[in-house]
Amino acid sequence: MMLSADDCQLVLVDYQERLMPAMVGGSEVAERAVFLAKMARLLDIPVWGTEQNPSKLGPNSAAIRALCHKTFAKMHFNACASDLLDALRPPVKPAGNARSLPKHLQKPAATAPGGRQTVVVAGCEAHVCLLQTALGLLEHEFDVWVVTDACGSRKERDRDAALDRLAGNGVELVTSEMVAFEWLEHCEHPRFREALALIK
């Protein structure tokens, strides 16, 4: 099973400037996140960001914020409790006169047909917000892939435990270059040269 660019969305969880210096290898983790976002933008893959309690913890780095189509503020550790889910799977408005029915007789809104079902996720802290968001996305029946070299925690042991737990729950673990080359598929991709410049 491999990633397909046409079916993917990228979610970058809490790369907040104030927190990144505390992460093990924080600058490298942030660099990998920027690389992922640039690759996604190059290949027309939607990029979403989240920020945990930004009024207290500050925003994501400017480089990451600039590459996201939208950044969602959140108070829950699981970003699925924010408006992120509506961006990932926008509801389809009911057709006909369904709105005239009493609420208890209305069918729940369907999800957009042909929507992108695979969510590639990376973020901090791996054992808190990233872990809970990835598990939350699984519960909402997305296919979830976590990019290990773009994830960080203050302690290596916490990051490793999070990745072990995610793998045990059926999340695919990948690296940023694995993602990039699977999105590209072949060396004749029309954006291959531009992508290669990012990879190098």
In a domain, 76, yes or no: yes
Residue % of the chain over a pLDDT of 70: 88
pLDDT band at 110 (very low <50, low <70, confident <90, very high): very low
CB 42 within 8 A of CB 197: no
User: Residue 10 belongs to a domain with what CATH number?
Assistant: 3.40.50.850
pTM: 0.88
pLDDT at site 98: 53
- Give the residue numbers spanning the domain of 81: 5-89+113-199
* Nearest-angstrom CA–CA distance, 2 and 145: 10
CB 115 within 8 A of CB 137: no
Mean pLDDT of 61-85: 96
- CA distances to 12, 18, 106, 174 from 47, rounded to whole Å, are 8, 22, 32, 18
pLDDT in tens, 46-69: 999 999 999 999 999 999 999 999
Domain count, the chain: 1
pLDDT at site 114: 53
In a domain, 74, yes or no: yes
- The lowest-confidence range among 11-25, 94-108, 113-127 is 94-108
pLDDT, greater one: 15 or 95: 15
The per-residue pLDDT of the chain, averaged, comes to 91
Q: Is 162 helix (H, G, I), strand (E, B) or coil?
A: helix
Q: Is the pLDDT of residue 113 over 50?
A: no
In a domain, 23, yes or no: yes
pLDDT at site 200: 85
pLDDT band at 111 (very low <50, low <70, confident <90, very high): very low
In a domain, 101, yes or no: no
In a domain, 100, yes or no: no
In a domain, 32, yes or no: yes
In a domain, 95, yes or no: no
Q: Is the pLDDT of residue 101 over 50?
A: yes
Which of 137, 138, 86, 143 lies closest to 109 in space, CA to CA?
86
pLDDT in tens, 134-149: 999 999 999 999 999 9
In a domain, 102, yes or no: no
pLDDT in tens, 15-30: 999 999 999 999 999 9
* Nearest-angstrom CA–CA distance, 68 and 193: 23
